[in-house]
Structure 1
Amino acid sequence: MSERLIELRVENKRLKEQIINLEDKIMALVGMVNIESSGDADRKNVLNDLLINLINSTKEQLNIVTPKFDSFYVNELKNLVKREIPVLVITTDRGAYSKKEVIIYDDLKNTQGISVINKPKIKLLLAFNTEQAVYSGGFLDKEELSKSILVVTTVKEKSKLRLIAEIFTSMLPTFMRK
């Protein structure tokens, strides 16, 4: 009987350790996908702040999908390539830009280290690296993002980041897909 009691205590301890391990894994997943708003009076620059932090924290490559962009974000991307970090941007065709915007587009397109791919029907804003993704409506324009009320999704979960990378890759021309 006492031998059986010892076995049960050992088994009980092992099960408690497994429960603690599973709880730790669950807690690690909490906060891996976050949904919030940006652009209203109290949260005016949430999306801009998230994007700037994402750009500045990128260590390998930054991937972006955006219908358009402004000179502020072009300069941020130029600063990133100065650190020898490549940037890949999928955006609308050059013809969709106004005369003022074409100058900014050409500046981005002609920057060494930044690759620009044109897709005519881009309607979303997505920026991601190996650690995090930020998804929303709108486009990379600091002023527009600060005054547009948008739903912002931030993803840090590795499996979701891989899925986002697959979706991004499907937007690339076939010769660029890996």
Structure 2
Amino acid sequence: MVTATPARPRTAADVRAVVAAVPDPELPMVTIEQLGILRDIRVAETGRVTVDITPTYSGCPAMDAIRADIVAALGADGVDDVEVRLVLAPAWTTDWITPAGRRALRDNGIAPPHSAGSERPGPVALTLAVRCPHCGSPDTRELSRFGSTACKSLWACRACQEPFDHVKAL
């Protein structure tokens, strides 16, 4: 005779580990945690899970896919009562990309953004050059303000002649 094992209560840390591993659909080499869009997770006594995410910019078309991926990942882990909320304030900034996320972008041929400086008072830093993620040369030029997604621009390296995406600093 087989008996059903009762579901174990989920802690916020358990749930966060599952959600943090969800890849970004437009930048699959980084997770939503590494990208900095995973904001908060709450687990109610009833077992209901609420996940707060912040889009990289308002109107980001990937948010519906991210919401569905979070629900699917938690469902596969036995969590069926899930609410995913979009939190627009404070607005996302590229400063929220983790060092591991920046490395993953660079390792996959995408130039990570410079710090947007939102955490520091003072003058706003300008991006005068973007280092090529392939050869490291600063001798690059912007080909198009818009790349493969609206949050990236298209650049080319004059040294190695390779095109690459650059995540825009916001």
TM-score range, shorter chain: under 0.3
Q: Radius of gyration: which is bigger?
A: 1
Q: Between Structure 1 and Structure 2, which shows a larger proportion of helix residues?
A: 1
TM-score, structure 1 normalization: 0.26
| TM-score, normalised by the number of residues in structure 2 | 0.26
